[in-house]
């Protein structure tokens, strides 16, 4: 165990606040409480996860690999380039992990402990590390244990030697010859695009009838076309039935409309979702209720069925994003140190980005959803290649994608946006801020932006007159 606590006999310590899990929300809350003079114990099950999922096996390493993949030149050897990229990313995460540990370990009132947690009662947690046992008693407990990948119950899959999760791939130095991704969500498509850029053959099997089925058809079509033009094989409506290992590869058997098909691969990435990590926590001994989907049940203030115990981040069943975990910490901190009025009900216009190239970013309602809710909808949009007053995309050499904003024609407020473009991960934050503060679309369209920047596309798109056409022929701008 870390933090000066070890021994073969069980000993106990007390704290004002116990945080279980070193993720974004947990570590930030621990530091906040410590600076207020509270005695804090930060508990993490692995010394390889200081700092949480984001910096170790999530956002930071995956987006760093996307960058390394994008800058590979045609003449660079794929295997050597990939191996060097994995090494560079490992160095990066090692450095960040050490800094995250130091961030808390240098605070006088924080004790960092490494081991597995299990509740003994509503205020006491036992920590196990090998033969060592430690009990921590705290008046306030925050559960921040994150989530774990779902492995579907498909014959032969769980025992396949070629199976990998996204975490496994981050530690694999051998570039797959043919990567088959099962699941066409954000994670699956990000990894598909990344490994194709590294030089792997990539196929994606998606059970739904179409990819990105929650998006408007014109938006989904642009994204799918980009991925297919990159050389990725996208197979919708595919029901995987079996995985059969051979000596050098594995065979994935699947059906489309009842007709059997097969793919051979030397690596399978399962990207079918993640579930809250609650196994072994002994939540029942603390009287903590769990939802039907296996998440810790919380109210809008992130309190569990035991009001002194909070659950933040993926484990509470909310959106699985690092920045949501960070906002969870603000809610709990306000409850413990402030006036306790901040809640999840305050959240509006939370943006999302899929880090393919160029990035795909969304916020708010799609056009379809807005019309279904009865809004009088106006659409402002253009294909990126058709923009005339946005030279940055040409400077960067990538004019693929589209810009689409959904506007309430009665109020001129933005209801949602979908951007497929260079820098969309930045521009979407401005749109989200405008939505949260009820900035009219005309003000966003008439604002002054730096030049040349991707943001100034808003000047052009929001000033567009009706009848711009989408690739599918549907009007992107209408009243």
Residue numbers in the known binding site for FAD are 63, 145-147, 314
* Distance from C-alpha of 448 to C-alpha of 474, rounded to nearest angstrom: 30
- Catalytic: which of 68, 329, 352, 451? 451
Quickly list H helices, 71-128: 78-105
* Distance from C-alpha of 59 to C-alpha of 420, rounded to nearest angstrom: 19
Distance set, CA 64 to CA 58, 173, 269 (Å): 10, 15, 19
Q: Indicate the annotated binding residues.
A: 63, 145-147, 183-190, 206, 273, 314
CB-CB contact of 384 with 403 (8 Å): yes
Look-up of token digits 């279980």: 20
* Distance from C-alpha of 475 to C-alpha of 470, rounded to nearest angstrom: 6
Q: 24 Cβ partners below 8 Å, 6+ apart?
A: 52, 54, 313, 322, 323, 325, 326, 329
Q: 130 Cβ partners below 8 Å, 6+ apart?
A: none
- Among residues 462, 431, 425, 410, the alpha carbon closest in space to that of 349 is found at 431
Quickly list H helices, 209-341: 217-229, 283-286, 322-337
* Distance from C-alpha of 181 to C-alpha of 9, rounded to nearest angstrom: 47
Quickly list H helices, 106-235: 166-170, 186-198, 217-229
Q: Indicate the annotated binding residues for NAD(+).
A: 183-190, 206, 273
CB-CB contact of 8 with 132 (8 Å): yes
365-385 burial string, b = 16+ CB within 10 Å, else e?
Answer: bbbebbeeeebebbbbbbbbe
Asked if 451 is an active-site residue, the reply is yes
- Among residues 474, 357, 468, 354, the alpha carbon closest in space to that of 421 is found at 357
Q: List residues with catalytic annotation.
A: 451
């Amino acid at each position: 165990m870390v933090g000066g606590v070890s021994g073969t006999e069980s000993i106990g310590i007390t704290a004002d606040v116990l945080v279980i899990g070193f993720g974004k929300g947990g570590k930030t809350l621990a530091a906040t409480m410590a600076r207020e003079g509270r005695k804090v114990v930060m508990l993490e099950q692995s010394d390889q996860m200081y700092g949480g999922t984001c910096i170790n096996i999530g956002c930071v390493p995956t987006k760093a690999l996307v960058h390394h993949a994008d800058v590979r030149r045609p003449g660079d050897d794929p295997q050597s380039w990939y191996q060097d990229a994995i090494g560079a990313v490992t160095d990066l995460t090692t450095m960040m992990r050490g800094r995250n540990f130091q961030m808390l370990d240098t605070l006088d009132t924080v004790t960092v402990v490494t081991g597995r947690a299990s509740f003994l009662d509503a205020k006491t947690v036992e920590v196990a590390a090998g033969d060592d046992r430690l009990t921590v008693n705290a008046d306030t407990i925050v559960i921040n244990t994150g989530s774990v990948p779902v492995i579907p119950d498909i014959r032969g899959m769980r025992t396949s030697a070629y199976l990998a999760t996204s975490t496994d791939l981050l530690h694999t130095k051998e570039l797959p010859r043919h990567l088959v991704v099962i699941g066409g969500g954000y994670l699956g498509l990000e990894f598909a695009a990344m490994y194709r850029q590294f030089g792997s053959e990539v196929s994606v099997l998606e059970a739904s009838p179409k990819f990105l089925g929650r998006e408007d058809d014109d938006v989904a079509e642009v994204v799918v076309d980009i991925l297919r033009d990159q050389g990725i094989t996208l197979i919708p409506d595919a029901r995987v039935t079996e995985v059969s290992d051979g000596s050098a590869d594995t065979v994935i058997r699947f059906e489309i409309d009842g007709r059997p098909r097969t793919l051979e691969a030397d690596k399978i990435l399962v990207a079918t979702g993640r579930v809250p990590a609650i196994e072994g926590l002994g939540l029942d001994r603390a009287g903590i209720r769990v939802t039907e989907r296996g998440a810790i049940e919380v109210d809008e203030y992130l309190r569990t069925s035991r009001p002194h115990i909070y659950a933040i981040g993926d484990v509470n069943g909310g959106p699985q994003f690092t920045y949501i975990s960070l906002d969870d910490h603000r809610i709990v901190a306000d409850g413990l140190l402030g006036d306790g009025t901040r809640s999840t009900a305050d959240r509006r216009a939370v943006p999302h980005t899929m880090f393919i190239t160029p990035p795909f970013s969304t916020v708010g309602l799609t056009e379809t959803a807005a019309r279904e809710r009865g809004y009088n909808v106006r659409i402002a949009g253009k294909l990126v290649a058709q923009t005339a007053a946005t030279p940055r995309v040409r400077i960067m050499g990538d004019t693929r994608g589209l810009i689409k904003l959904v506007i309430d024609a009665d109020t001129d407020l933005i209801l949602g946006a979908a951007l497929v473009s260079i820098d969309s991960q930045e521009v979407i934050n401005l749109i989200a801020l405008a939505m949260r503060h009820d900035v009219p679309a005309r003000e966003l369209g008439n604002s002054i932006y730096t030049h040349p920047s991707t943001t100034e596309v808003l000047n052009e798109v929001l000033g567009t007159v009706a009848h711009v056409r989408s690739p599918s022929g549907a009007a992107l701008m209408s009243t």
